[in-house]
Amino acid sequence: MLGVATAATHIEGGYQAHNWYQWCEEGKIKDGSHCKVACDHINRIEEDVDLIAGLNCQTYRLGIEWSRIEPEEGRFSEEGVSIYRKELSILRERNIVPLVTLWHFSNPLWMEDDGGWVNPKSVGRYLRFATFVVDQLSDLVSDWITINEPNVYLFFAYFEGIWPPGKQGDIRSFVKAANHFCQAHLKAYQLIHQKQSGARVGVAHHLRVFDGLDDHWLTRKAIQLTAHVFQNMFLEAMTTGKFRFPLTRSNSKLEGDVYADFIGINYYSRDMVKGVFNPLALFGERSVMRGSQVNDLGWEIYPDGLYRLCTDIFKKYGLPIWITENGVCDSEDKLRSQFIYDHLLQLADLHKAGVEVERYYHWSLLDNFEWAEGNSARFGLYHTNYDTQVRTLRKSGKMYAEICQLKAVSNDVIDRYL
């Protein structure tokens, strides 16, 4: 199944009492833009679903804004739920299968102001929210992502400090929150399956390839440590329930040994690593491969990494893989068509190798509010004019629509777009 992906805070707009709204109000976004505008999707739901249908997508990944559902702790909003029921119903009418993300970087202010995910109460708070959403939407949704990219959120929020709450080098909070994310997913996985027969539940993991700039023993050790702390410990805990140092599992009892029905992979790039004698940097410095092609944000475009990651993960866990995000920041649309082709080619090769990749979601449907970068980072198949909110299909979007319709890349598509 081929589709596109968005997140609630990225596109919805409108006032919402959450951590990103407050961060924007404090002037912390690089280009000065604000998530209260974003793509005004909340007032253009039917129009934007038409855009998805116009791409011939079979599936669409969307997000739930927690603060819209639970604006005050313990008080749920029927109005908020009705918005998502409307959107999901329209998607179903157009034969587009929804994949719903319950948490994608956005915390209600009442939770953020009480320690966010560092507070042990966060697990119970998330489960209360998830229970309500599943109860309200399970007649329209059977595919769920519990948590999106906990590693990225924690890295930017508690190491670099460029995302709310803006902590720098706060390793203790990073580890505490990481534990709570993993526990929340494990319990949510069980909860959703108890409530909904036939549900498919997983996590959208941000995974990168880490390669060495040299073969020094310190570089090899740095790669091992970086991969473990940045991604592998999350992947292992949220898939098998096994918590590896520095994670520590709570005393609560869990049943079973697998806590995912698929492995969600958000793949964008790789990092080159060089060993250094600095334990705070996990003994490594990360950089971009010299001379490589990069996107507007300076990330290396490395399609082979998708094959490498999927092969390793399928071999280790044996679970179906869903590419829950894959895209390129490319405001002039010079790179995107080739990017799509090259990454879909990797998926074709994976299929030939027997690796079960069941879905591909391109990031993103349209240009949107990209967190600390604001509106300046453009990932969309549709160009967004933020002054008029007019969406315009890019050339790469036209190519992707043809691929989604054909379920193949024809010679004619290659001749016209590549």
DSSP 357-374: EEEEEEE-SB----GGGG
Report how far residue 413's alpha carbon sits from residue 418's, in angstroms, rounded to the nearest whole number: 8
> What is the predicted pLDDT for the residue at 65?
98
* Amino acid at site 50: D
CA distances from 377 to 331, 365, 374 (A): 7, 13, 7
> Six-digit token pair at 47?
């129009």
Closest CA to 147 of 69, 208, 204: 204
Report how far residue 254's alpha carbon sits from residue 182's, in angstroms, rounded to the nearest whole number: 12
Q: Name the helix (H) or strand (E) containing 172.
A: helix 171-195
Domain residue spans in the chain? 2-206+258-268+300-417
Q: At what angle do helices 336-352 and 304-317 cross, to 10 degrees?
A: 30
Residue 407: strand, helix, or coil: coil
Closest CA to 203 of 281, 126, 151: 151
Report how far residue 69's alpha carbon sits from residue 398's, in angstroms, rounded to the nearest whole number: 35
> What is the predicted pLDDT for the residue at 176?
97
Mark the ranges of the chain whose per-residue pLDDT is less than 70: 251-253, 255
pLDDT digits (tens, 9 = 90+) for 312-330: 999 999 999 999 999 999 9
> Six-digit token pair at 263?
């492995």
What DSSP letter does each residue of 341-355 carry, written as one string? HHHHHHHHHHHHTT-
Q: Which residues of 381-413 are buried (b: 16+ CB within 10 A; e: fewer)?
A: bbbbebeebebebbebbbbbbbbbeeeebeeeb
Q: Tell me which fold the domain 2-206+258-268+300-417 belongs to.
A: TIM Barrel (3.20.20)
User: Exposed, middle or buried: residue 155 (CB in 10 Å: 0-12, 13-18, 19+)?
Assistant: middle
